[in-house]
Structure 1
Amino acid sequence: MASQEGNRIDLMTLPPQQLAQLKEQLEQQIEQFSMNFQDLQNAISGFHSSGLAIEDLSRQKEGKDVLIPLTSSLYVGGTLGNPDNVMVDIGTGYYVEKTAEGGRDYCKRKVMILTKALEDLAEIIKAKRQQVQQCQRVLQMKMQQFQQQEQQGASV
Structure 2
Amino acid sequence: MYVPGKLQDVRTVLVDIGTGYYVEKSADDAQAFFKRKIEFLTRQMEKIQLVLQEKHAMKQAVLEMMTQKLQQLTAAQGVPAGA
Query: Structure 2 length normalisation: TM-score?
Result: 0.86
Q: Do structure 1's residue 124 and structure 2's residue 29 form an aligned pair?
A: no
Structure 1 unaligned runs (5+)? Answer: 1-73
Q: Which residue identity lines up with residue 83 of structure 1 in the other structure?
A: V
Partner of residue 38, structure 2: 111
What percentage of aligned pairs have identical amino acids? 35
One-letter amino acid of the structure 2 residue matched with residue 110 of structure 1: K
**1:139 and 2:66 equivalent?**
yes
Cα deviation per residue 1:36-64 (whole Å; 9 max; x = unaligned)? xxxxxxxxxxxxxxxxxxxxxxxxxxxxx
Is 1:99 aligned to 2:26, yes or no?
Answer: yes
Distance (whole Å) between structure 1 residues aligned to residue 36 and residue 29 of structure 2 = 10
1:150 is aligned to 2:77: yes
Deviations 1:20-51 (A, max 9, x none): xxxxxxxxxxxxxxxxxxxxxxxxxxxxxxxx
Residues 87-127 of structure 1: CA distance to partner in whole angstroms, max 9, x if unpaired?
A: 11111121111111100011111111111111111111111
2: distance between equivalents of 1:128 and 1:120? 13
* Count of residues in correspondence between the two structures: 79
Q: What TM-score do the two structures reach when normalised by structure 1? A: 0.48
CA-CA distance at 1:82 after TM superposition: 2.2
Unaligned runs of 5+ in 2: none
Does 1 or 2 have the higher relative contact order (CA < 8 Å, sep 6+)? 1
Q: Would you identify which runs of 4 or more consecutive aligned residues in structure 1 move more than 6 Å?
A: none
Q: For the residues of structure 2 that align with 1:101 and 1:77, how far apart are their CA atoms?
A: 25
Distance (whole Å) between structure 2 residues aligned to residue 111 and residue 90 of structure 1: 13
